[in-house]
Structure 1
């Protein structure tokens, strides 16, 4: 009798242990459980790539980039002259700031044109008289500036650069109203703001 009770007790304990093990296994391996689902969802969200943020462009964007490249390039050429010919420290500082701002924009504009499968204007071989963009200097203007130095250069540089900036602002306003590419329109807005401020600054220097 005692042997029977002992065997029965042992069997009951074994059954309880087996049931507990099966329950734990079911809880840990249930892919439909809240914890498992949340973990899978979080993992999928973390590994999913962000959608591409493309921006459409139109003919106005292409025209803006193709025109602004030689326009900027001429401003950089003028700024390079100021480094050795200007007598005013303010003019030299302004010229350096113009070059620092516009040289990188030339690269950006060129990159946009390449991505749009549009022609990129050749850099380093400018015919100043061949451009009809607002504010562009004629060949004679550039020649006069190259020959000037000291206070005469300062005055000529400021007057010509004011006109040059006014042309850039005009072009940028056209891009803001007619363009479609968000980045190009943002650059146009930045040009309007920065170059308008520089126009005011240059006019003050001319009045001194």
Structure 2
């Protein structure tokens, strides 16, 4: 496949995904306040304006866990470039890499604006109420990296389906418990986009 053809396919995949997810702006209306709400002391600037305003422990936990989740997911999808055979699977993986890289950087910026660590506590018990840490660990990724061709594709799709399902669960927890409008909006978009990806991957598995 030529580079021009791959770029064309990538744009064709991304356009409906981006348009269906809506804008990144905060939703209309103010969310209900929840216990433990905090505010940032950082002055609003173009780089940190989305991080300003009220937030609570659920917002912080969601972003920290999702940053870790995205980093594992990026390791996973980057394997498809050299090991997958089907063009549509490579295009899907490339689209996920673009989306999740941008989301990870945004979430890190918000956490820095709040003066919070940009990674989750490695203690799995600390995340029990938020869906748990990502199930895709270094061992699974290392095992997948030793496969290729059809064997790789089957294992890759099954692992990525489970991984993205975890993102959906964390996003839905944020929409229930979080109070920061941009974080809640991001969670809703993650829910929509990952659910669409799961549907697409189930068809590829079939």
Query: What TM-score do the two structures reach when normalised by structure 1?
Result: 0.68
Counterpart for residue 181 of structure 2: 182
Q: Which has the higher helix share?
A: 1
Paired positions, count: 151
CA-atom RMSD in angstroms: 2.3
Whether the 8 Å CA contact 1:79–1:98 is kept in 2: the answer is yes
The C-alpha deviation readout for 1:110-149, integer Å capped at 9, x for no partner, is 0110111111129xxxx9x999745421333111111011
Whether the 8 Å CA contact 1:79–1:96 is kept in 2: the answer is yes
Asked if residue 68 in structure 1 is aligned to residue 66 in structure 2, the reply is: yes
- Which runs of no fewer than 5 residues in structure 1 stay unpaired? 1-51
Whether the 8 Å CA contact 1:62–1:113 is kept in 2: the answer is yes
Whether the 8 Å CA contact 1:55–1:181 is kept in 2: the answer is yes
**1:118 partner SS:** coil
Partners of 2:99 and 2:110 in 1: CA distance: 17
Larger radius of gyration: 1
Whether the 8 Å CA contact 2:75–2:141 is kept in 1: the answer is no
The correspondence of residues 1-208 of structure 1 with structure 2, limited to 5 A, is: 54-121=52-119, 133=132, 135-207=134-206
- Which runs of no fewer than 5 residues in structure 2 stay unpaired? 1-48
The C-alpha deviation readout for 1:131-189, integer Å capped at 9, x for no partner, is 97454213331111110111111111100000000000000000000001000000000
After TM superposition, which residue ranges in structure 1, 4 or more long, deviate above 3 angstroms? 129-135
The C-alpha deviation readout for 1:71-115, integer Å capped at 9, x for no partner, is 001111111110111111111011001001000111111011011
Partners of 1:86 and 1:131 in 2: CA distance: 36
1:193 CA drift (Å): 0.3
**2:78 partner SS:** helix
Partners of 1:65 and 1:173 in 2: CA distance: 13
The C-alpha deviation readout for 1:30-83, integer Å capped at 9, x for no partner, is xxxxxxxxxxxxxxxxxxxxxx89531000000001000010011111111101
Check 1:202–1:130 CA distance in 2 against 1; reply closer, same or farther (3 A cut).
farther
